Amino acid sequence: MPFRPPGLPASRPLLAAAVLVLGLGALALSRLATAADTANYPAASLTAPTDQAALIARGKYLATAADCMPCHTGPGHAPYSGGLVLATPFGGLASPNITPDKATGIGNWTDRQFYEAVHDGIAPGHEYAVFPKYLYPAMPFTSYTMLSYQDVMAIKAYLFSLAPVSAPPVANSLSFPFNQRPVLLGWRMLFFKAGPMKMNPAWDEHMKNGAYLTEALGHCGECHTPRNLMAAMISSRAYAGAPIDNLFAPNISSDKTYGVGGWNRDDLVAYLHDDGNMVKGSPYGAMGDMTDNSTSLLPVSDIQDIAAYLQTATKPQVTPPGKPVAQASASIARGETLYGANCAACHGGNGAGMGPKNVPNLAGNDSVTAEKPYNVIGAVLGGLGRWSDQGPQMPAFGAQFSDQQIADISNYVRTAWNNKGSPDATPAMVYSLRALGNLPPAASQAADELGCPRISQAGGTDTVADPGNGLLGIFAGATPATLPNRTRELVAALRANNSSASPADLTNTLVAAYCPVLAQTPGVSLADKRAALKHFIAAAQPLLTAP
């Protein structure tokens, strides 16, 4: 018997009215593309191929342009089988399996059900036997709603051509009341409007194609448009730039000063299709995933159409730099020293990078000088991997540098070499970004709160030297029962590496290894973590003084 909220019988008249309203609303929202819409779509999106192989090929192209696979592929999961947990302001939201598996995927979905999910954000089934199963807008149906019916069906044909993968859903961890899908009705009434985008009648097919790829398939605004407190895009600020994890998606509007309107067209095409260049830098983070799995795989002509649309048809957005921090010149001077010692070897003393395409340039890089300094901070905190197969890896410095030091480096990089950014990075900003993104344990906000030691390759007056060989990760997954043995093992390894190490040096290294693991232990107060750390140090002392 389906669950019914308490007191339901007394509210049946209201419930019936609500169901009627919902039904009429769904009918109004769930219309197909009609003849009147033909002016609002590129010609290629209005005719479905009659040959099944051609239809699947069209669907694969569209799914690539929409970047479906990365979001629907979690760690250890097969492509499109879901399981990626997206960090939202309201908790963790796991992507579903969209392979044609009938038990755990979408193999039983009809054409209509698939269309309603993509176009209207409503999945098959109901909540509480009454409310439609609204999708959370982390699924960008707010952009996909602009897709034509023919193209949605082509995407379905491609997904249903894939091998079914049995992958039970990963649980969400949304907080109350956001874990109740019916509350999305109010959000939808306020912020969701179904239907095609309105094309300018003067646009040719290239501009229409660029608009369609940017607005509907590429859903660029989902990352590059600021959101309000209810996580809805602020349409009046489309493409003005917005935070994403511990980075910042910059202004990509047509503004010639703050957006991409002033970019050379070839540079923008290179950024989206060819992994960037040594003029405007390269994509990384979520944008790097987008270019690797989507835009770099599309025809160059499509990217040229996207670039033309962004540079000429979007509303210019003005995003002036932030207010410089107090004593900015002192911060910049400290940052210059740190940059010279730690960054210049790869990025160059002049910020020009290491070409061709081994290490990106920082001079003239709009990502570096974006409205917020998050991109520099996030890169220094967590590293970025390799820009190319030939280039060195951008390491994480979050465990080595203090919040003030990272702010100083950011303020220097944003203002050096004629960069027009503002020296507005603060230690508090760095501290807050430690809580976001995928940082090494020793670089996390929790480790920062507990006062875990800084770690560097060489050590120093304010850092602990990393002994290498993965030794600082020895306490990962340790339990109270295994902790003593792992401590003895680490002490023995440290003495083997350096027989003259003093008890104080050994203690510092033990703490550097154990502290970040303790810091991220769930359900333990900060006071109890500090007490546990003191107990750990005391218990280790006999091992350190033994011959």
- Position 390 confidence tier, pLDDT thresholds 50, 70, 90: low
**Location of structure tokens 């044909």:** 157
pLDDT single digits (tens) 262-304: 999 999 999 999 988 888 988 988 899 999 999 999 999 999 9
User: What distance in Å separates the CA atoms of residue 399 and residue 403, rounded to the nearest whole number?
Assistant: 10
Question: Residue 313's pLDDT is what?
Answer: 96
Q: Which position has the higher pLDDT, 385 or 427?
A: 427
Residue 389 has pLDDT above 70, yes or no: no
What is the phi/psi pair of residue 342, to 5°?
-125, -20
- Position 220 confidence tier, pLDDT thresholds 50, 70, 90: very high
Report H helices in 82-137.
Answer: 111-115
User: What distance in Å separates the CA atoms of residue 282 and residue 275, rounded to the nearest whole number?
Assistant: 6
How many whole angstroms from its chain centre is CA 384? 13
Question: Residue 473's pLDDT is what?
Answer: 87
232 to each of 21, 144, 186, how far by Cα in Å?
23, 15, 12
Question: Residue 340's pLDDT is what?
Answer: 95
Residue 123 has pLDDT above 80, yes or no: yes
The full set of domains in the chain, from first to last, is 9-191 (no CATH), 220-312 (no CATH), 328-439 (1.10.760.10), 452-545 (no CATH)
Residue 13 has pLDDT above 50, yes or no: no
How many whole angstroms from its chain centre is CA 60? 23
Question: Residue 357's pLDDT is what?
Answer: 64
- Position 517 confidence tier, pLDDT thresholds 50, 70, 90: very high
375 to each of 28, 187, 250, 292, 411, how far by Cα in Å?
42, 30, 9, 19, 12
Write the Ramachandran bin of 463: left for phi over 0, alpha for psi from -120 to 50, otherwise beta.
Answer: beta
User: What distance in Å separates the CA atoms of residue 132 and residue 11, rounded to the nearest whole number?
Assistant: 19
Calculate what percentage of the chain has a pLDDT beyond 90. 65
Question: Residue 467's pLDDT is what?
Answer: 81
Question: Residue 1's pLDDT is what?
Answer: 29
Question: Residue 174's pLDDT is what?
Answer: 87
Helix 483-497 with 526-545: angle, nearest 10 deg: 50
Question: Residue 395's pLDDT is what?
Answer: 86
pLDDT single digits (tens) 129-159: 788 999 999 999 999 999 999 999 999 999 9
Question: Residue 386's pLDDT is what?
Answer: 62
Residues forming a β-bridge with 88: 91
By the 10 Å C-beta count (0-12 exposed, 13-18 middle, 19+ buried), 411 is classed as buried
Per-residue burial over 159-189, b if 16 or more Cβ lie within 10 Å, else e, is: bbebebbebeebebebeeebeebbebbebbe
- Position 124 confidence tier, pLDDT thresholds 50, 70, 90: very high
Q: Where are the beta strands (DSSP E) in 170-246?
A: 173-174, 242-244
Q: What is the mean pLDDT of the chain?
A: 88
pLDDT single digits (tens) 244-254: 988 999 999 99
How much is the average pLDDT of 168-194?
89
Nearest to 287 by CA among 347, 370, 207, 210: 370
The top-scoring range by mean pLDDT among 50-54, 394-398, 467-471 is 50-54
Question: Residue 326's pLDDT is what?
Answer: 95
pLDDT single digits (tens) 488-501: 999 998 888 888 88
Contact 240, 319 (CB under 8 A): yes
What is the distance in angstroms between the CA of the first residue and the CA of the last residue of the chain? Answer: 70
Contact 105, 165 (CB under 8 A): yes
Residue 376 has pLDDT above 80, yes or no: yes
Question: Residue 9's pLDDT is what?
Answer: 35
pLDDT single digits (tens) 428-466: 999 999 988 778 888 999 999 999 998 887 666 678 888
The top-scoring range by mean pLDDT among 10-19, 33-42, 369-378 is 369-378
How much is the average pLDDT of 71-76?
93
User: What distance in Å separates the CA atoms of residue 303 and residue 87, rounded to the nearest whole number?
Assistant: 29
